[in-house]
Each structure stands twice: as C-alpha cells, then as structure tokens.
Amino acid sequence: MNTTSSNGSSHRSGSIAVIGRPNVGKSTLVNALVGAKVSIVSNRPQTTRHRLLGIATFAEGQIALVDTPGLHRQQGKFSASAMSRVMNRTARGALEGVNAGLLVVEAGRWDDEDSTAYKVLHDTGIPVVLCVNKIDRLRDKGELLPYLAKATDGREFTAVHPISALKRNGLDILVKELLQLLPLAPPMFGEDEITDRSERFLAGELLREQLMRLLGAELPYATTAEIERFAEDGQLLRIGAVIWVERESQKAIVIGKGGARLKEIGSKSRIQMERLFGRKVFLETWVRVREGWSGDESALKAFGYGDG
Ligand code: GDP
Ligand code: MG
C-alpha cells in the first residue's frame, strides 16, 4: 500500500480489524461508523458468524473495518462445536494485512476472554486501540476512571476511547484517532460502497438476524439461512430463502402456530432488506431439515461459513 499519497493530499485509507469477545458491540460499532446496517446485531453471543468489511468513508479518509465473530474460549456445549472452531479461525484470520486493531470491551467488565482477545491482537504487533463500549450503561460514571486504569494496566494501547456505539457517543474522536493510524493513500472503495459483501449475502444475514432475535433458547444456534433465489424484477427484488434447522421438532418451532412465527420472521426480515437495499422486496421462506449441519464442517462450508 502507498505510504505517500500520489497527489500530495492528506487522505488516509486502510483497514482495521474489530476484535473482542462475543456481544461487546463490535457489529453495532461497525454499523455506526459505516452509517448503515451492514452487520447484523442481536443480544445473543455469536450473532456474527462471518468476516465482513464495513466501509466507513469520511472527508479525511476511508476506513475498511473488518467485523469478526467474537473470539471466545472453546468450552461448553455450543463453544466446543465445529461452528465455534470455524468462527475463532475466522476472527484470527481477519488480522492478516490490517493496519491496526480495535479491541472492543464492555465498560465495567474485563474477563478472560477479553484478555485472550487482547493477546491475539497484541501478538500481531499492529497498533491496538482500546474501545470501551456501552458507557451509557454505567450507572455510576465515577466507575469509568478506575476501570480504564485497570484495563490498561500492564497492556499496551495506542489510544483508549470510552464510547457508546448504540448512542453514537465518542465516535467522532475515535474516527480521527483511527484515521491517524492509516497510511496516506487514496480511497480503496467508491464513496457509496458500504461493504465487500453482496446484497445476496446481506439478505441471508438479515434473515438470520431475525432468527437470532425471535427464536428462544438454543434454537438460533441450530438454524442458518440460505438464499436460493435473488432476482431483480424491475424495481422489485424477488428473494427466496431457506431456513435450515437440525430436527423436525425445530422446524415446527420456527414455523409456529398456524405459521405465525415464520410470518413474523419473514416480514421483519423483509422490512430490514427494503431499508438496506432501498427497494421493494418480495420474500418467500421455506424451513428445511438437515440433521447435524452445525457440527459438520463440510455442511458449514456449503452454507458459506469459514470463507473468510
Ligand atoms: P458483537 O457480538 O460484539 O458484534 O455485539 P453486537 O453488536 O451484536 O451487540 C450485542 C448487544 O449489545 C446488542 O444487543 C446491542 O444492541 C448491544 N449494544 C451494542 N453497543 C451498545 C452500547 O453502546 N450500549 C448499549 N447499551 N448496548 C449496546
Ligand atoms: Mg457481531
């Protein structure tokens, strides 16, 4: 990559990996910086299963944010699974070739998984910025300073930023800081590009977001979405999607009484798709069973997991 800009301008561009344990708000932050929902969000850990670029364009520069699945310890029922292995691999792989790393943690909390994420970033030798997210949730603002002191003790950070990704607090100054870590270079992506992923991929993710949000207990981890049809029909997008589950009993739960749950999942997904694509969407969904898909690495591959 250029380290000096060809036309002598002060424009910066490069990529930054967003790393942290599950559920700290990495995807919320990426979306807030991009200004659109390119990465899905829910209050469940392991919502993000893929590597995805969120492209944030500013007058002073362009940041390609690499959103990643949360780095987590492989323990417990779900975490010992093939999916869990694939996701940890994806998160680590996202560090290749980036200019800096953004470690996201939750204000007031630091546990072993945060330490692991720090170590993974620190070991790469790239500059690491600490983002202390969810400061809106701190009841006592006086807790912040002692927390920052503890979090940074014995660790090397280029900068530390308390923020709220949800409320968009502290983001302007964070962006300024991040841009300084990037080389002087022209933009890598067009001004209106917001992600490296296709609309087809994003449609599958938006459907999966509703599965994460609307299905209770363990079920979200046994489901995935596959877009079978993605066709433009004038101003309309016709999308056909399959929701894969692992057992017949799960299929019945996804469909719900009289099809009510599937209908809700479909209509909420469609609204999100229309918002992101700026077009009317006609969405059809089917639920199908494929036994044990989440524990089977070849099935995961077929569903697009582990492709970066
Ligand atoms: P990820 O797993 O690290 O990508 O986390 P997500 O972006 O999916 O967010 C996990 C949960 O935290 C979601 O329910 C978000 O709405 C919530 N969240 C993210 N950022 C903030 C924040 O700044 N404040 C609060 N209160 N909640 C947040
Ligand atoms: Mg995420």
What's the pTM value of the predicted model, to 2 decimals?
Answer: 0.91
Report if residue 107 sits inside a domain: yes
What CATH number is associated with residue 67?
A: 3.40.50.300
Residue owning tokens 């070739």? 97
Report if residue 307 sits inside a domain: no
Give the separation between CA 62 and CA 243, rounded to whole angstroms.
Answer: 36
- Residues 48, 172, single domain; the answer is yes
Ligand 1 centroid – CA 24 distance (Å):
6
According to the model, what pLDDT value does residue 2 have? 46
SS (H, E, C) 22-71: CCCCHHHHHHHHHCCCCCCCCCCCCCCCCCEEEEEECCCEEEEEEECCCC
- Residues 174, 265, single domain; the answer is no
Q: Which residues form the domain of 222?
A: 199-302
Let me know how many helices (H) and strands (E) the chain has, helices first.
Answer: 10, 9
pLDDT in tens, the chain (308 residues): 444 445 558 999 999 999 999 999 999 999 999 999 999 999 988 888 888 999 999 999 999 999 998 877 765 555 557 777 877 788 788 888 899 999 999 999 999 999 999 999 999 999 999 999 999 999 998 999 999 999 999 999 999 999 999 999 999 999 999 999 999 999 999 999 999 999 999 999 999 999 999 998 778 788 999 999 999 999 999 999 999 999 999 999 999 999 999 999 999 999 999 999 999 999 999 999 998 888 888 888 888 887 65
- Residues 92, 163, single domain; the answer is yes
What CATH number is associated with residue 211?
A: 3.30.300.20
According to the model, what pLDDT value does residue 85 have? 80
Overall number of domains in the chain: 2
Pocket of ligand 1 (CB under 6 A): 20, 22-28, 41-43, 47-48, 70, 133-134, 136-137, 164-166
